[in-house]
Amino acid sequence: MNNDIRDVTKATFFNPGVSYEKRVGKLQSLTAQAFLSTTIFIGYSSSLGNTSHIDMYPALSLQYKYYYNVTKRKEKGKRTEMNSANYISAITEIDFYEDRVLPEKDIRTQKIIGVSWGFQRNYPSRFSLDLNFGLGYVFTKQTTINDAGQYITKNIGEFTNVGQIALGFWLNKRR
């Protein structure tokens, strides 16, 4: 009975992109992903009124996963092929976005590090579901306009929630 994981390549359509998960040890993997991150913003201020927008911007992530329940799932007769199991992970992500405050285009980076709990299910139909959530820390630059109408840019860092919903298809050959 093989209670280990394997390499998996996936294409996702929710946050469109591709990922490659490489086995690096017993029940351990590294996942590299390139995707379009989707952000939805809805806000209100007494001076500016209602504001909302949907942005999609390029992002890269690297995630270390440790699958902790492969043996238990297999003993219960549940699917474990294609790394269908629960995991804990360390995540790092970099997002490339356009600063909306500045009048000229300015591409900024936002860096996130964090830890999460998640589960991945890769079904025989090739459908793939990977959900994770946890806590992280984000580093970025933020531009604001002060009362005198001057642009102020400062570095910020703060705790944030991390999470991802990846829906797509696995691309490996069937065994």
pLDDT tens column, 71-88: 999 999 999 999 999 999
Among the residue ranges 15-29, 54-68, 144-158, the one predicted with the least confidence is 144-158
Q: What are phi and psi of 103, to 5 degrees?
A: -70, -30
Which among 32, 35, 138, 28 has a CA at the least distance from the CA of 88? 28
What's the mean pLDDT in 118-138?
Answer: 97
Q: What is the pLDDT of residue 101?
A: 65
pLDDT at 38: 81
Return the pLDDT at 89. Answer: 98
Query: What is the pLDDT averaged over residues 87-100?
Result: 90
Above pLDDT 90, what percent of the chain?
A: 67
Contact of 53 with 79, CB cutoff 8 Å: no
Q: Can you give 99-144 as a three-state secondary structure string?
A: CCCCCCCCEEEEEEEEEEEEEEEECCCCEEEEEEEEEEEEEEEEEE
Pairing state between β 127-145 and 17-25: unpaired
Rounded CA-CA distance 120/154 in Å is 38
- Does residue 25 have a pLDDT over 60? yes
pLDDT of residue 174: 83
Contact 73, 99 (CB under 8 A): no
Sign (positive or negative) of CA dihedral 112, 56, 85, 22: negative
Top-confidence residue, 134 or 40: 134
Share of the chain above pLDDT 70, in %: 96
Closest CA to 158 of 116, 115, 117, 112: 112
| pTM (two decimals) | 0.85
Q: Using 50, 70 and 90 to split pLDDT, how confident is the model at 152?
A: confident
Paired tokens of 115: 């830890």
Is the pLDDT assigned to residue 111 strictly greater than 60?
Answer: yes
pLDDT value, residue 102 = 66
Predicted pLDDT at 103:
65
Strands 151-170 and 8-12 come out as antiparallel
DSSP-H helix ranges across the chain: 70-75
